A and B are shown apart, each in its own frame.
Chain A
Amino acid sequence: MQELIERAKSLLEAGQVARVLGWKKGENVWDAEPAFFESADALDAFVYNGFCGANLSKYMIEAGKLEGKTLVFLKPCDSYSFNQLLREHRVDREKAYIIGVGCKGKLAISKIPFDGILNVSGADYPAAAEMLKVETLYGDVEIAYKEAMLERCHVCKGKEHVVYDELLGESCDTVDADRFAEVERIEAMSPEEKFAFFQQELSKCIRCNACRNVCPACSCRKCVFDSTAFDSAQKANTTSFEEKMFHIIRAFHVAGRCTDCGECSRVCPQGIPLHLFNRKFIKDINALYGEYQAGSDLETKAPLTCFTTDDAEPGVGRG
């Protein structure tokens, strides 16, 4: 982590970048939050550890409008999001100085199931201990790093950055599950079981819109859900809209552009497994239009906005 801070400071001091976009310490060790650092001194509050799950690429939309370059630290999964934003002309490549930072998997406090947690140690980077030590009000306990990892890290796409100006820090492989296993399990259920499952999960939604706000693919200047033009603007959870439509519509809007960065599930305060919708679309797109990973490069044509004669017939199986 020190290495990252030193590098950021030197770039700031040399005038190569006007500000740094990274993570800063929160009240607790697990509260790392995205932040802008305007000076070398400010960087004393910089942190990079196992709790830095936040994807910084979306902040570059606004940062690109400011004077001078912004140094942004991107984890491997974040770099896909950045590329996707580049494809859609939402960020200016020239305004970003990207340090591709290594990653050994990120943690979720919600996965550390103890009461009265005071501190978690072993999550620093690059150490990333195999066992995390958790100090609680009721005594010290241990939990394996892997067990506390975010769901998305178990199905990591790979630790190679797809866009960067320089690389810093080591990574290690964290994959130990099949990416589409959960989706397949649900697909195998009966329609009644499926409906019941989703009703139960989605009824928890409080329309905080955190998933939409954090999603890099959801970068529309004016979201359809904020617009009176579509009769779908809603802020408070007053009807069964959330259970029936909001999440499906959002997933459909980002289909083909979602890089599977996993932020939506991470930020949901209700713990709804939102990634199940996006992964379902990704699985279908792979099957229908060929393997496609959004954000992996700038040239490959997106499957939903281009046509080839191999494309699956619409309504396959429903005629």
Chain B
Amino acid sequence: MTLLFSMLDYLGVEDGRTRVEWVSAAEGVKFSETMNSFAKKINELGPSVRLGDLRCKN
């Protein structure tokens, strides 16, 4: 994970598009806060241009 995100930085992918957080199944409040703040950040950054869905379209 650390390596991958470092590589994404290297490629110029915006910092806010990736995040790592340790959340246990017992930390419900932390989970909801993390997800809500991340979703907010992503909406601010807008659609992703630099990183895309790589799969072949069938």
A and B touch in the complex (CB under 8 A): yes
Query: Interface residues, chain A, CB within 8 Å of chain B?
Result: 183, 186-187, 189, 191-198, 230-234, 240-241, 244-245, 248-249, 251-252, 255, 277, 280-281, 284-285, 288, 304, 312-316, 318-319
Which residues of A have CB within 8 Å of B7?
A: 248, 251-252, 277, 280-281, 284
Verify A280–B1 contact, CB threshold 8 A.
no
Verify B54–A241 contact, CB threshold 8 A.
yes
Q: List 6 A-B contacts (CB under 8 A).
A: A194-B11, A195-B12, A244-B52, A248-B11, A280-B6, A312-B2
How many contacts between A and B, using CB within 8 angstroms? Answer: 81
Shortest CB–CB separation between residue B22 and chain A, in angstroms?
8
- Of chain A, the residue at the smallest CB distance from B19 is A318
- Of chain A, the residue at the smallest CB distance from B49 is A195
Identify B56's interface contact among A192, A233, A249, CB under 8 A. Answer: A233
Complex Cα spacing A71 to B13, Å:
47
Verify B14–A191 contact, CB threshold 8 A.
yes
Identify B3's interface contact among A194, A230, A285, A313, CB under 8 A. Answer: A285
Complex Cα spacing A277 to B15, Å:
18
Query: Known contacts A248-B7, A281-B3: does B21 contact A193 (CB below 8 Å)?
Result: no
Verify A315–B19 contact, CB threshold 8 A.
yes
Query: 8 additional contacts, CB 8 Å, given A284-B3, A312-B2?
Result: A195-B50, A196-B12, A244-B52, A249-B54, A314-B2, A315-B1, A315-B5, A318-B15
Complex Cα spacing A313 to B55, Å:
30
Give the residue among B5, B12, B58 with the most A Cβ atoms within 10 A: B12
B18 in contact (CB, < 8 A): yes
Which residues of B have CB within 8 Å of A198?
A: 11-12
Identify B4's interface contact among A240, A252, A313, CB under 8 A. Answer: A252
Complex Cα spacing A319 to B38, Å:
11
Which residues of A have CB within 8 Å of B58?
A: 231
- Of chain B, the residue at the smallest CB distance from A313 is B2
The size of the chain B interface, using a CB distance under 8 A, is 25
B35 in contact (CB, < 8 A): no
- Of chain B, the residue at the smallest CB distance from A186 is B10
B29 in contact (CB, < 8 A): no
Which residues of B have CB within 8 Å of A249?
A: 54
Complex Cα spacing A193 to B9, Å:
12
Complex Cα spacing A192 to B3, Å:
20
B42 in contact (CB, < 8 A): no
B51 in contact (CB, < 8 A): yes
B26 in contact (CB, < 8 A): no
Name the interface residues of B9-53: CB closer than 8 Å to any CB of A: 9-15, 18-21, 50-52
Complex Cα spacing A280 to B5, Å:
12
Complex Cα spacing A198 to B18, Å:
19
Verify A187–B3 contact, CB threshold 8 A.
no
Which residues of B have CB within 8 Å of A195?
A: 11-13, 50
Query: Known contacts A245-B54, A251-B7, A318-B19: does B13 contact A191 (CB below 8 Å)?
Result: yes
Which residues of A have CB within 8 Å of B9?
A: 191
Shortest CB–CB separation between residue A45 and chain B, in angstroms?
43
Which residues of B have CB within 8 Å of A251?
A: 7
Complex Cα spacing A195 to B50, Å:
8
- Of chain A, the residue at the smallest CB distance from B20 is A315
Complex Cα spacing A192 to B9, Å:
11
Which residues of B have CB within 8 Å of A245?
A: 52, 54
Shortest CB–CB separation between residue A192 and chain B, in angstroms?
7
Verify B1–A240 contact, CB threshold 8 A.
no
Which residues of B have CB within 8 Å of A187?
A: 10
Identify B54's interface contact among A183, A244, A313, CB under 8 A. Answer: A244
